[in-house]
Amino acid sequence: MDMKTRIAALAAECMKSLWPDAEGLPAAEELRGLLAVPPDPALGDYAFPCFRLARPLRTAPPKIAEALCAAWNHAEVASVRPVNGYMNFFLNRENFAAETMAVLLSQGERFGSSDLGKGKTVCLDYSSINIAKRFHIGHLSTTMIGHSLKRIFDFLGYTTVGINHLGDWGTQFGKMVCAYKKWGSREDVESRGIDAMTELYVRFHEEAEKDPTLEDEGRAWFKKIEDNDPEAMEIFSWFKEVTLRDAAKVYEKLGVTFDSYAGESFYNDKMEPVIQELRDKGLLVQSEGAWVVDLEEDNMPPCLILKSDGATIYATRDLAAAIYRQNTYHFDKCLYVVAYQQDLHFRQVFRVLEKMGYPWAKDCVHVAFGMVSFEGEALSTRKGNVVLLDDLLDQAVAKAREIIEEKSPNLENKDEVARQVGIGAVVYTDLSANRIKDIDFRWERALNFDGESAPYVQYTHARCCSVLRKAGDLVNAAPDWSALTDDEAQALLRLLSRFPDVIREAADKYEPSMITRAVTDIAQAFNKYYYEHRILDGEPAQAAARVALTEATRAVIKTGLYLIGIEAPERM
């Protein structure tokens, strides 16, 4: 049991014994949620606001706080003091250290995991790249936030389904196939991949300016794709394959995986029933030749379902996808990790699902995020200004390699560590602020070994490992927890003990950055401890306690980094 839960249980008991007949007193669980952490540590480790009891007891909060404090008889756990209507708890430092360490050591790298999500499923739609488009820095957030959330939900016991909802549908693919047939070569597309496809597409538009009949040809090829014509499908599937081969390189570097690549084209044959259902439910109305769902009463523009030529669109596919996912995975949550620019699209889609009578529409969540710029320059797809993810990652590794060469010339596996640090630096930056905030990626910050960065946290992890290697037999000695009652150890223990709450909150708010923050705070607190105390010196039982604290820190940092998709080298 963690300390907060313990205090909550004891406080609930204390209330019950004081006022056995009162109704509406909070039970331990609610009480735990009410326990606040005072901003000033001089006011204690936790504070219970007695205002919550004012109504059920019909008494003023300061009086309640006094009565509770007088009745409290668990000094071995915490001493208490009434302050302005709060019951303030001051943990017994040695007891706190002993209890916290017992949990930390027994759970190790699983500390913070739970079975909260047992039997529940979360679908996560992330990365969701477009065919024949390059994978650039603008795709980093959807990929990494989604990947991290998947790990977080897994860690909390949920079943997760990672979906790369490929953008593999649209008239542009007809044009691309058409251009390929006219001017393309297999070798060129094989060797230059997306660059070659992009050039074909650009050429199509240039030539179509001179010869408008090309547009018809492009449309005809798209029709062939729609009708599953073997030749058209062969070329198009191969474009897809080339794109995914390219993306796979990036996914491998980032350690990102998916359970499904069912993208837009997957829903080709699954939209007809949805359209019929919309019609049957009287939701489909005609507007300027197109078929839409009217959302005026929701203060939104209509959701376009069928264009005037009968073609389906992005939203139609998302409706079919949501229904398919519910029928297939029976999700309890379906998360869409997509840039905030698509906010209206998702509000429309979710609202239409609601209007169709699906109660689970409320379980669909758009997990929006801000934009990424690079060294102060906004991203633009215009030539010269796109930062390709693959290049960025390679550069990060190369830069990390140089720094490591300089800092640790004797390190054995420099290449491997440079890979972990370089990739980690990029990922950390992406997950370092609230997701809705725009991010400016800067090398100096990302690779600053002394700042708030992946290398800093990773270095702290390696430092723990180094201490543990030197500790030898102390790892097995019986610890004297009274060695962990100093301010620095207590501050570190407090952060470690809150880690499970951080994970849950990160899941609740779909906010991996909370974990980034927590591991950074823990790393800083450990370094402070490390500079103020000589871990391996002195009494063996006392040293053993400090070594145990080091081991617990190592495990939590490793887990935290894992949850945000970053590796933890043991030597740096």
Q: How far is the CB of 475 from ligand ARG (least distance, A)?
A: 48
Interatomic CA distance for residues 83 and 400, integer angstroms: 51
Neighbouring CB atoms inside 10 A of 264's CB total 23
Q: Please, what sign has the CA dihedral across residues 463, 568, 388, 406?
A: positive
Q: Quick one: which segment of 22-30, 124-132, 243-251, 359-367 binds ligand ARG (CB under 6 A)? A: 124-132
Interface residue with ligand ARG among 338, 368, 387, 397 (CB under 6 A) is 338
Sketch the per residue contact string, 153 through 192, with ligand ARG: x for CB under 6 A, - otherwise: ------------x-x-------------------------
* Site residues (CB under 6 A) for ligand ARG, limited to 540-559: none
Q: Report how many residues bind ligand ARG under the rule CB under 6 A.
A: 9
Q: Which of 336, 428, 499, 510 binds ligand ARG (CB under 6 A)?
A: 336
For position 130 contacting ligand ARG by CB under 6 A, the verdict is yes
CB of 346 to ligand ARG, least distance (A): 8
Chosen residue from 99, 125, 363, 430 binding ligand ARG by CB under 6 A? 125
Return d(Cα 140, Cα 153) in angstroms, integer.
20
As annotated, the active-site residues are 133, 136, 139
Q: Binding segment for ligand ARG among 68-76, 122-130, 284-292, 431-439 (CB under 6 A)?
A: 122-130
Structure tokens at 382: 């215009």
Cα–Cα dist 13/30, whole Å: 13
Tell me if 45 contacts ligand ARG by CB under 6 A: no
Pairwise CA distance, residues 263 & 163, whole Å: 8
Annotate each residue in 314-333 with x if it binds ligand ARG (CB under 6 A) or - if it does not, as one string.
----x--x------------
Give all strands (DSSP E) within 348-469, no chain letters.
Answer: 364-367, 372-374, 439-441
CB atoms within 10 A of CB 158: 23
How many whole angstroms separate alpha carbon 94 and alpha carbon 3?
12
- Rounded to a whole number of angstroms, the minimum distance from the CB of residue 313 to ligand ARG is 11
37 or 436: CB nearest ligand ARG:
436
Q: Pick from 235, 254, 251: which is nearest to 129 by CA?
A: 251
> 121: which strand partners?
159
Comparing every residue's Cβ against ligand ARG, the nearest one is 167
Q: How far is the CB of 263 from ligand ARG (least distance, A)?
A: 8
Nearer to ligand ARG, 125 or 217 (CB): 125
526 interacts with ligand ARG by CB under 6 A = no
Q: How many CA atoms lie within 13 A of 26 on its CB side?
A: 20
Instruction: Tell me: does residue 128 bind ligand ARG (CB under 6 A).
Output: yes
Looking at the Cβ atoms of 125 and 480, the one nearer to ligand ARG is: 125
Give the phi and the psi of residue 382 in degrees, each rounded to 5.
-60, 150
Name which of 262 and 457 has its Cβ closer to ligand ARG: 262
How far is residue 220's CA from residue 394's CA, in Å, rounded to a whole number? 41
Nearest approach in angstroms of CB 281 to ligand ARG is: 22
DSSP 409: T
Q: Is 134 within 8 Å of 98 (Cβ atoms)?
A: no
Instruction: Report the site for ligand ARG in 415-434 (rule: CB under 6 A).
Output: none
Q: Evaluate whether 136 touches 389 at the Cβ level (below 8 Å).
A: yes
86 or 336: whose CB is closer to ligand ARG? 336
Rounded Cα distance between 112 and 496, Å, is 10
Binding site for ligand ARG (CB under 6 A): 125, 128, 130, 165, 167, 318, 321, 336, 338
